[in-house]
Amino acid sequence: MALEEVFENERGTGFGDKSKFNAGALFKSERGPWSTASGQPKLPMDCLEVPNKQWKWVNAWRVDNSTDVDEDGWEYAMNWGREFSSVYRKTSFVRRRKWIRLRQKITAETEEETEGMREMAAHLEDAQQESGDVTSVRFFFLSFFLFLLGEAELNPYPVPGSSRVSFNGFQIRY
pTM exceeds 0.85, yes or no = no
Measured CA to CA, the distance from residue 90 to residue 73 in angstroms comes to 18
pLDDT at 154: 42
Q: Which helix (H) or strand (E) holds 165?
A: strand 164-167
Closest by CA to 45, choosing from 27, 78, 23, is 23
pLDDT at 124: 67
Measured CA to CA, the distance from residue 78 to residue 72 in angstroms comes to 19
What separation in angstroms does the CA of 16 have from each of 11, 74, 82?
12, 16, 18
Q: Is 31 helix (H, G, I), strand (E, B) or coil?
A: coil
Measured CA to CA, the distance from residue 139 to residue 20 in angstroms comes to 35
Measured CA to CA, the distance from residue 87 to residue 74 in angstroms comes to 9
Per-residue tens of pLDDT for the chain, all 174 residues: 899 999 999 999 877 777 889 999 999 999 999 999 999 999 999 999 999 999 999 999 999 999 999 999 999 999 999 999 999 998 999 999 999 999 999 886 656 665 666 676 676 677 666 666 655 566 666 666 655 655 444 444 444 555 555 444 444 444
Q: Which helix (H) or strand (E) holds 125?
A: helix 108-131
